[in-house]
Structure 1
Amino acid sequence: MDSTLLKFALPGLVVLAISTCPAVAVEQNCRFIQAKPEREACYKRQEDELAAKRKRAPAIAESNTLETLRQMRQDDDAVHRSINNICRGC
């Protein structure tokens, strides 16, 4: 059993480690630039990218929130209908 778990868990962990490395590398590559103007330009690009991501996130989150609320309302209505169909005095 342990060898089966190891056989499937190890490749999964390797894939996870590889997929997270590029994101970390993008954030850390500016500090290794020796020339100050180039390093500051790199930091500025990172700030701009982060600001753009933050602007996009609320718009996406708002549409997801509305859809989630709509789905929750439908689920609540379905549960309410099923509860009302239960015979309480049988």
Structure 2
Amino acid sequence: MDSTLLKFALPALIAVLMSAGPASALEQNCRFIQAKADREACYKRQEEELAARRKPATPTDESKTLESVRQMRQDDEAVYRSIHGICRGC
């Protein structure tokens, strides 16, 4: 086999295998549990973990959220003013 092909194909293959491994391994662990109650508990744990990962972080204090929105708006206005000054006739 050509050595340059081996230099590029082998690392690419390893990267693909490493990225696909953990996600599918999590799903397959419960599938092979023989006891129905244990298997269902495993699936429920996985479902809860997935829901926790998908759930957005809730702000703890509304005043902090409003203040951060105000700050972002001020920053946006400053950027728009600077762009308007630079880009004449765009």
Question: What TM-score, normalized to structure 1?
Answer: 0.58
Aligned CA distance change for structure 1 residues 8 and 77 (closer, same or farther; 3 Å): farther
> Structure 1 segments of 4 or more deviating over 2 A?
2-6, 72-81
Give unmatched runs, 5+ long, in structure 2: 59-64
**1:35 and 2:35 correspond:** yes
**Ranges in structure 1 where 5+ consecutive residues have no aligned partner:** none
**Residues matched between the structures, number:** 75
Percent identity, please.
58
Are 1:82 and 2:80 counterparts?
Answer: no
Structure 2 Cα separation of the partners of residues 20 and 5 of structure 1: 22
Higher helix residue share: 1
TM-score by length of 2: 0.58
Give the RMSD, CA atoms, in angstroms. Answer: 3.5
Partner of 1:19: 19
